[in-house]
Structure 1
Amino acid sequence: MGNLIEKGKEWAQKIPEFSSQTYVIVAYVISALVTIAALFLVYEAVTTDALFFGANWNMFKSPLGNFCWIIGFFWAMLWWGKFTHWSATPIIEKRDRYTDQVLERKENMDITEQMFAKMLMPIIGHFVIEPIMYGAIIYYPIQCIIAIVGGIFPYVLSIIVLAICGAFWVFGPKAKFRYRSLALVAAGLLFAGAFGWGAYAIISSDNQIETFVEDNIQPADSEAASYTSEEPIVEEPVSEDNEEEQIGGDDNEGLLGSLAEGTTIYVGEMAGFPIEFTITKEDGSIKAVYKNVKYSTTMQLIGESLPAAGGNISFMGKDPQHNSWTFELKGNAEEITGTAMGDNKELPVTLHKK
């Protein structure tokens, strides 16, 4: 044993030491290396979900919840009789059919009521409800701690890692003890390797999760494609008669065709209420603003004219109460008639140019 100690001392004497100036330079280089690895780890820890973990608030789907229920069971046995209300007396009441006043109140002697109140309920209370209650008293404080720790763990880890980097920068160049060169290089390589490995492990775990998702979760479109027939799709030729209907309606037809480009204001009535209807047609789109003159309520409406509508326009929107309304309008640029449908109502509309 003594020989081993002596050989160790001789080996230690052979370890080279940096000069003071060289040691300071090496200390800063090692500190920079550790800092680079640390920043890499901090970035991966904070920007990914690998180190975040949350609580399982469903006690009945957690292995820890089952364990807490077992503890709660023995807790309930220890506190047997703490809750005496599990046993009850079934009551039957006789009431007046007109005044609903209680005329007679007595114990219900029905055998099923007696068994439920005095036998089944105590069993359920003592052996099911109380163990769950005591288990929850243990389980949910633990989950609260897990939720807090899981949310801040990456940030706490980042603070610790950055503190280690700061220690290298502050204390590394100022070390005065023997074998400081060996300690500096060994500690630097150790922490730089640990930080780099930690960052690599986080990246690898993310890649494994992505690979698992890609391999096991089939996209909806690919699943639908697997059921698609492989028969070629034959496009039917479009005849000249219905070519216009396939492409779209004629913008020169009906109300749509008679409206001039720009904004036109109409006034009129809807079920006797005075209204103002402002229609704007521009760049192939059409919209309108409905206003109830009496109550000053307004609606923003979007219009469309289907090919089969013959130039008639359907305006759709929602009132301030979020009821959907549809205005089916026809006519020309001077006189417009139609129907407003919404809020389970169907109201006539008449408009003329202002």
Structure 2
Amino acid sequence: MERGDTPVTAGRRARPVVLVALTGAVLAALCLASLALGARAIPLDQVVQALTGHVPGPGGQAAENVVWSVRVPRTVLGVAAGVALGLSGALMQALTRNPLADPGVLGVTAGASFAIVLSITVLGVGSLFGYIWFGFAGALAASVFVYMLGRLGRSGLTPVKLALAGVAVTALLSSLTGAIVLTDPEPLNRYRYWSAGSLASQDAGVVWRILPFLAAGTVLAMACAPALNSLSLGEDVATALGRRLGLVRLQGVTAVMLLTGGAVAVIGPIVFIGLVVPHVARVLATRAGIGPDHRWLLPLAALISPCLLLAADITGRLVARPSEIQAGVLMAFIGGPFFIAMVRRRKLAEV
């Protein structure tokens, strides 16, 4: 406690730290659950032994192999991709000042998916490092196109028009993606599995290759936080406070491109995480007395999103054991009703 602070003031200052710490503890617990649960349940003590040394007894080597070869890469990928998708959604909602903004809803995910499938089936790109650049380009092109489409009309850009433009572009790109895949049956099975959105079947090498892109996007997103606080007061106020809005938007779009393009390239087009998580973060921040401060909202979104993705992944492993349901399918069940509720809260007369 600083000199002159009352216990009440010190408690208010500690609330954001406590909230972030609690969310981090939930994420750590879900990471342990992700390492322990699946088609074969592994006791937590064996998981800890596998991570710190050697699992004794019969079956110990098999448990180590499952933990290190399958579940550690899957869990790390879930955390990294979850952070990327949650930050993308929070950043897009702040930049557009639109509560319906989300990489999946606004066509960014579909743009990355279309470009990746195009590079694989038409151009013959076969490596992750090859087609990830197409994912970045597709994410950027789709976001620009949706933004320009949403500006058409006498009323200009409104949240609902932007969401409807994103849904239309997503449907168009998804149809084109399906048409391309159907003309080439060889990658069809791989695409069907990838398009459902899953954390499975990725080794540690793939995870390490994608992390630098996601880390760069995360740093750019976090650096936008002070400017986003100014932008939330209005463009005129932000400009009066010395913010260079063009530079802020360029930085934000670059971060979204890196985060969404990188995540989609590896786990597929998982939608609705970027829509749901920022709203959950704002509710928790409001109840904790933090308010709409993006210096705390962005880290909260970055922690809540992997919690949601890992929870969906773990649930998918358990409900259909020994098989599994992809995390993207479960996220659609969660995000669909949430999106409908959000749209119903808007003034549809603005459309």
Q: Shorter-normalised TM-score: what interval? A: under 0.3
Structure with bigger gyration radius? 1
Name the structure where helix makes up a greater proportion of residues: 2
Q: TM-score, normalised by structure 2?
A: 0.21
Q: TM-score, normalised by structure 1?
A: 0.21
